[in-house]
């Protein structure tokens, strides 16, 4: 009976997810750990939000309470810090923390004490473990050329915190993992229908990717609002995306729909520009911040090192 219940639920969820996935808006993340080949978590990695819950994820909802989000975020952050090398650049670290504190004042319903950590890693990346913890790499500082672009990335990760995307994303991935196990144990070994199990697993995985893209869509939108409220030129957000894909290329839309957790950079830039037109049609950006002399001075060694093929450490 349990297997039949699970089978019906998995098939139903697969149908719903694939239909919803076909209507995906293909709105990608600004930058996220899964977009880089790093031994670091993407937002919502591990089984966040489901710890201590033995009920299959397909029958339950993620625990999005503030206490759970804070506890798991703290635990995951400590794991990252234990296995990652922090940058010794205390001055840039302090500047980034000032930026985070400034942006954090404009996060609706903010209860987190936001902290940013600068990692000594040459690959451009940013991610959050939840609980108000935001990580960026030295490689990201080298890749983006204004304070506003870094602010856009930071605000995007802060939006993931505010919207409980870490635990929600983990819950979706647990459903995918449970579906794979069920397909192997029941559809394949017990019922002798490996083709059906593989098909359902593919549909659920595709649908889960769609929901992750929706979370990235929301984080982009909220992050844009945060940086505008903090005084940054909103056009720095699409410029950040363009800077990050300048050398790395972009996925095709079809490839990204089936296998990507965020949409193409081209789609993301297009949407950012349209959000700015729709929500800030009369915004005078002339007096808004794109960068600052103090940030440029601190970031200059990273830019110079990147031009020479290395990443600076202080």
What is the rounded CA–CA span in Å between residue 98 and residue 292?
Answer: 13
pLDDT of 290: 98
d(CA 12, CA 6): 10
Alpha carbon separation from 122 to 80, 99, 139, 194, 290 (Å, rounded): 16, 22, 4, 43, 24
Q: Which tokens sit at 288?
A: 């808004």
Cβ(133)–Cβ(305) below 8 Å: no
Mean pLDDT by 10 residues, the chain (314 residues): 47 36 33 38 39 49 84 91 96 98 88 95 92 95 97 96 79 58 54 50 44 81 97 98 75 41 80 97 96 98 87 58
Asked whether the beta carbons of 268 and 27 are under 8 A apart, the reply is yes
What pLDDT is attached to residue 64? 80
Give CA–CA dist 93/298, Å, rounded.
Answer: 10
Q: What is the pLDDT of residue 116?
A: 98
Residue 25 Cα distances to 147, 186, 216, angstroms: 29, 34, 11
The domain limits of the chain are 22-307
In the 8-state DSSP scheme, what is residue 187?
I
CA-to-CA dists, residue 180 to 186, 200, 212, 300, angstroms: 10, 9, 18, 47
The arrangement of strands across the sheet holding 115-119 comes to: 115-119, 133-137, 126-130
Paired strand residues for 130: 133
Q: What pTM did the predictor assign? A: 0.71
């Amino acid at each position: 009976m349990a297997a039949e219940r699970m089978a019906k639920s998995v098939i139903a969820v697969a149908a719903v997810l694939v239909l919803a996935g076909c209507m995906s808006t293909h709105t990608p993340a600004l930058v996220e750990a899964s977009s880089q080949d790093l031994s670091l978590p993407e937002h919502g990695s591990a089984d966040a939000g489901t710890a201590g819950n033995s009920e299959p994820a397909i029958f339950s909802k993620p625990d999005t309470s503030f206490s759970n989000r804070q506890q798991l975020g703290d635990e995951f952050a400590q794991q990252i810090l234990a296995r990652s090398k922090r940058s010794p650049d205390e001055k840039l670290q302090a500047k980034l923390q000032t930026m985070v504190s400034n942006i954090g004042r404009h996060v609706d319903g903010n209860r987190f004490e936001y902290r940013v950590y600068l990692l000594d890693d040459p690959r451009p990346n940013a991610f959050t473990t939840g609980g108000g913890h935001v990580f960026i790499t030295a490689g990201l500082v080298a890749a983006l050329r204004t304070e506003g672009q870094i602010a856009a990335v930071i605000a995007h990760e802060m939006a993931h915190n505010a919207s409980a995307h870490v635990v929600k994303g983990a819950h979706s991935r647990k459903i995918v993992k449970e579906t794979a196990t069920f397909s192997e144990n029941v559809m394949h070994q017990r019922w002798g229908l490996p083709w059906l199990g593989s098909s359902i697993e593919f549909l659920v995985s595709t649908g889960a990717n769609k929901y992750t893209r929706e979370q990235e869509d929301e984080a982009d939108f909220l992050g844009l609002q945060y940086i505008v409220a903090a005084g940054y030129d909103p056009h720095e957000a699409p410029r950040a995306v363009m800077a990050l894909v300048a050398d790395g290329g972009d996925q095709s839309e079809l490839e990204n729909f089936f296998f990507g957790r965020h949409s193409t950079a081209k789609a993301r830039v297009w949407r950012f520009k349209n959000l700015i037109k729709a929500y800030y049609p009369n915004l005078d950006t002339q007096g808004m911040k794109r960068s600052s002399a103090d940030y440029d001075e601190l970031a200059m060694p990273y830019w110079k090192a990147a031009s020479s093929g290395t990443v600076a450490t202080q």
